[in-house]
Amino acid sequence: MQMRRALLKKFALVLLAALFLNSLIFYGASSRSILNSTREDMLYILESADSLLEYGGDLNGQVARLELVTDRYDSRLTVIAADGSVAADTGADAASLDNHLGREEVEAALAEGSGYAIRRSATLGRTMLYVAMRSAHSDNVLRLAVPYSGMREYLPLLFPAAMGSFMLALACSIAATERFVSSVTRPLRVISREMLKVRGDYRSLKFEPSPYPEINVIADTTMEMSRDVEEYLARIEKEKQIRQEFFSNASHELKTPITSIQGYAELLEGGLIRDENMQRDFAGRIKKEAVRMTGLINDILMISRLETKEAEVVMTDVRVSVLLEEIVGGLKPQAAAGQVFIHIDCQPLMIRANAQHMRELFTNLIGNAVKYNRPGGQVWVNVRESDRQMVARVRDNGVGIPEDSLDRIFERFYRVDKGRSRKQGGTGLGLSIVKHIVGYYHGTIRVESKLDEGSEFVVTLPMEA
C-alpha cells in the first residue's frame, strides 16, 4: 500500500506540474496571439488613415474630425513629424506635447516601417498599446494608442471554463493513474502471494506474464533464484549424503584392519599360538593391516587437504619423465607378479606443481592399470605438452570398467569389483584422489573404457600452476 500511495502521490504532483506548465504556456501563447492580432488591426486602421489624410492641408483639422471615434474607444491618433515633433493629436494640443522622437514605437517605425510598445501613459493614467507606422505618402509617422490589458481582460470569462477543464483533466488523470498503478502493483502482489505459498517446492512457482517487461524481469529473476535455491538445496542434500556415506565407509574401512589387528594381537597375547612360524605370520599380518590402515588414513587426509585447500602447498618444477621412472620402478614387483608390462613414452617436460600431488596422480592411475589387468597385459603411459598444457594418457588392455560404473568410479570408496579390490589391497580412494588433484590445478580428466577390452584415462593440467 505504501508503494501504491507513493506512486499516486508522485503521479498527482507530476500531473499538477504539467497542468500548471500547460496553463502558463497557454497564457503566454494566447497573450502573444491577442497582441499580434490587435497590432495587425491597428496597423490596418493606420494605413486607412494614412490614405485619407492630406498632408499638405490642415492636419489638426483633419485629425480633429476623428476625435469622436477615438474618444469613443479611449484611443488616440497622433501624427508625428520626422524630427519627432507632434504635428497633430486627437487627445491633446499638439503644441503642448513633448518631442516623440525617443519613443520606442516611433524609433522602430522610422527604422523599420512599423513598431509597437506597451507602457503606462502619463497623460491617460493607464496601460496603452502604441502602434506606429511610417507614412507611405509623407515623412510623418502615424501612431495609434489604445487601452491594452492583454489576457487579463479575458480571464473572468476563461477562468470558469479553465477550472472546469482542469478539474475534469485532473479527475481523468487520477483515474488513469489509479488504473496504471494497479497494473503495476497487481503483478507484484501476485509474485508476493506466490512466494508466500511456497513450502519447499519451488517448482510450484508460476507467474502470469505482465504487460510490462520490467515486471516480467522481476518474475523471471524470482523464478531463476528459486531454481538456484532448489539446486543449492539439492547440492547440500547430496553433499550431506556423500558425507554420511564417507563416514560410514571410512569407519567400515578402518574397522576392518583394526578388528584383524585386535584378533591377531589377542591370540598372541593369550599364548594360544606357540609355533614360532605362525607367530611370525600373525605379526606380519598385523603389520600388513597397520600399513593398510596408515595408507587409508593418509588417503583420507590427502582428500581433505585438497578439498579445503587450507594446507600450504609447495610448488616446484617437477620433471615428469624422472618422476615416472621412479613410480614405475616402485610398481615393478606388483607388475611382475601380475605379468603386466608397462611402456613409458614421455616427452621431456617440467610442470609447475607439487611433487607429491603429481606422484599420487600417476601412482594411482598406473597402479590401477596394473592392478586391474590380466596376465600378459599391457599398460601404456604417454605424456605430451600441448598448448601450454600437460596431456597424460594412461591406457591398458585389462578387464575394463562396466558402462554403468563410469559415472561413479571417482566417488570415495567406490569399487567396481569389491572382492578383487580388497584382495589387491586398495582403499577405494585412489581415483577420488586423482580427481581432487586434477580439480586443484583446474585441469580436466576423462575416461573411456570397454568391458574386457581395457580403459584409458586422459588428464590435462596447465604447465604453470
- DSSP notation for 202-253: GGG---PPPSSHHHHHHHHHHHHHHHHHHHHHHHHHHHHHHHHHHHHHHHHH
What does the pLDDT look like over 394-441, one tens digit per residue? Answer: 999 999 999 888 888 888 777 776 554 455 555 677 888 889 889 989
What is the CATH code for 313-462?
3.30.565.10
Q: How far apart are CA 198 and CA 216, in angstroms?
A: 19
What does the pLDDT look like over 126-162, one tens digit per residue? Answer: 888 999 999 998 889 999 988 888 777 666 766 677 7
Average pLDDT over residues 117-122: 84
Average pLDDT over residues 22-49: 86
pLDDT for the residue numbered 96: 82
Question: In the CATH scheme, what architecture does the domain 2-156 have?
Answer: 2-Layer Sandwich (3.30)
Question: In the CATH scheme, what architecture does the domain 199-311 have?
Answer: Orthogonal Bundle (1.10)
Residues 6 or more apart whose CB falls under 8 angstroms from that of 246 comprise: 412, 413
Average pLDDT over residues 161-165: 75
In this structure, the strands spanning 341-346 and 378-386 are: parallel
Average pLDDT over residues 62-85: 81
- Burial group, residue 407, by CB count within 10 angstroms (0-12, 13-18, 19+): exposed
In this structure, the strands spanning 350-353 and 389-396 are: unpaired
User: In this structure, what DSSP letter does residue 405 have?
Assistant: G
pLDDT for the residue numbered 1: 54
Looking at 309-417, list the stretches that DSSP marks H as alpha helix, in order from N- to C-terminal side: 320-337, 355-371
Q: How far apart are CA 121 and CA 118, in angstroms?
A: 9
pLDDT for the residue numbered 158: 67
Task: Look up residue 296 and give its three cell numbers.
Answer: 587409508
Q: How far apart are CA 416 and CA 465, in angstroms?
A: 33
Cell 503644441 sits at which residue?
A: 95
pLDDT for the residue numbered 384: 95
DSSP 139-191: S-EEEEEEE--GGGGTHHHHHHHHHHHHHHHHHHHHHHHHHHHHHHHHHHHHH
Neighbours of 11 (CB within 10 A): 17
Would you kindly state where each structural domain of the chain is located, as residue ranges? 2-156, 199-311, 313-462
pLDDT for the residue numbered 391: 96
Task: Look up residue 58 and give its three cell numbers.
Answer: 490642415
Task: Look up residue 164 and give its three cell numbers.
Answer: 472546469
pLDDT for the residue numbered 132: 94
Q: Do domains 2-156 and 199-311 have the same CATH topology?
A: no
* Ramachandran category for residue 415: left, alpha or beta (phi over 0 → left; psi -120 to 50 → alpha): beta
Q: How far apart are CA 230 and CA 105, in angstroms?
A: 83
Mean pLDDT, the chain, as a whole number?
80
